[in-house]
Amino acid sequence: MTRKAFVIGHPIVHSRSPLIHGSWLKAHGIDGSYEAIDVEPAALPALFARLRAGEFVGGNVTIPLKEPVFALCDSVDPLAETIGAVNTLVAKGQKIHGFNTDFMGFLGNLDQQAPGWSDDLEESIVLGAGGACRAVLVALKERGVGTIHLLNRSPEKAEAVARAIGSPVRAAPWGAFAELAPKAKLLVNATSVGMHGSRFSDLPLDRLPKGALVTDLVYVPLETPLLADAARLGLNTVDGLGMLLHQAVPGFEAWFGIRPDVTPALRAAVEATL
């Protein structure tokens, strides 16, 4: 029987997930499908009824459904609870299990593009305390790195997230960047700055140590002004597209039984749509 999976969200038309999963289905000759379904929050129970009835093996969840799905899942992975969002559903019999694979996407991207990046990582800086930063913080914590300084334009949000995730995350004021940067071998931008070519006006990147790695979650444009500035300073950079590609791997494996690879060809196919 054809195994069917989906990505749900509202709107959903711009999702690149059908391209990613469709490429893997084709490459592995799997009798399966992956479709984008526009689901408003009010229509979630009906979608879950179809999932429980066996129509789908599971699927991805995107904005604005990553929080509303919690209440409908039969179980939610503890890391998804900590991150506060479910982006992957797996149906087992009539039970629906919720996971968050964004943190694995973050790790998979850096492991592929900057091998060894977390070795002896004693201090790092994460910018942004919105929805996406939690997956980054959980990823870094899972990897067992040292102190993670969390800086956000609105400091009270960084303080709340640092409390929720716990050690080794420490909130610091935005203005502390210049003082913290010399020891930070990793800088992660988890804010929305960079979209549409926007740039930080007050970030002295030249304070980062030689050999530091700068990575951006924003992937449109692929080379954000932050990454361009970092590259000009001779720092190492990794763009955010790989996180999107790698977060898709665990879901595909759970639904279709094969762990797919993030290949240069897949990356190029998705890059062509940006």
Choose the binding region for ligand NDP from 17-25, 42-50, 113-121, 242-250 (rule: CB under 6 A): 242-250
- Interacting residues with ligand NDP between 129 and 158 (CB under 6 A): 129-133, 152-154, 157
Tell me: does residue 240 bind ligand NDP (CB under 6 A): yes
Tokens of 88: 């992957």
**CA nearest neighbour of 18 among 29, 5, 30, 9:** 5
As separate numbers, helices (DSSP H) first and strands (DSSP E) second, the chain gives 10, 13
Name which position in 57, 243, 248, 270 contacts ligand NDP (CB under 6 A). 243
Min CB(210)–ligand NDP separation in Å? 26
The CA distance from 246 to 16, in Å, is 13
- 228 C-beta neighbours (distance < 10 Å), count: 14
Catalytic site residues? 66
Tell me: does residue 218 bind ligand NDP (CB under 6 A): yes
Name which position in 181, 193, 208, 254 contacts ligand NDP (CB under 6 A). 193
Nearer to ligand NDP, 89 or 110 (CB): 110
The CA distance from 220 to 193, in Å, is 11
Choose the binding region for ligand NDP from 1-9, 90-98, 142-150, 192-200 (rule: CB under 6 A): 192-200
Nearer to ligand NDP, 63 or 74 (CB): 63
Name which position in 49, 71, 195, 274 contacts ligand NDP (CB under 6 A). 195
Q: What share of the chain is helix, strand, coil (3-state, %, to 5)?
A: 40, 20, 40
The CA distance from 234 to 206, in Å, is 10
Choose the binding region for ligand NDP from 54-62, 139-147, 238-246, 265-273 (rule: CB under 6 A): 238-246
Min CB(133)–ligand NDP separation in Å? 6
Q: Establish how many alpha carbons lie within 13 A of residue 27's alpha carbon, considering only the half-sphere containing its beta carbon.
A: 16
Min CB(59)–ligand NDP separation in Å? 17
Strand partners of residue 259: none
The CA distance from 199 to 216, in Å, is 12
The CA distance from 226 to 215, in Å, is 9
On whether the CB atoms of residues 233 and 212 are closer than 8 A, the answer is no
Choose the binding region for ligand NDP from 5-13, 44-52, 123-131, 258-266 (rule: CB under 6 A): 123-131
Q: Is the dihedral of CA 124, 127, 130, 131 positive or negative?
A: negative
Name which position in 244, 248, 254, 262 contacts ligand NDP (CB under 6 A). 244
Tell me: does residue 219 bind ligand NDP (CB under 6 A): yes
The CA distance from 77 to 18, in Å, is 24
Nearer to ligand NDP, 57 or 190 (CB): 190
- Interacting residues with ligand NDP between 42 and 81 (CB under 6 A): none
Binding residues for ligand NDP, per CB under 6 A? Answer: 102, 105, 128-133, 152-154, 157, 190-193, 195, 217-219, 240, 243-244, 247
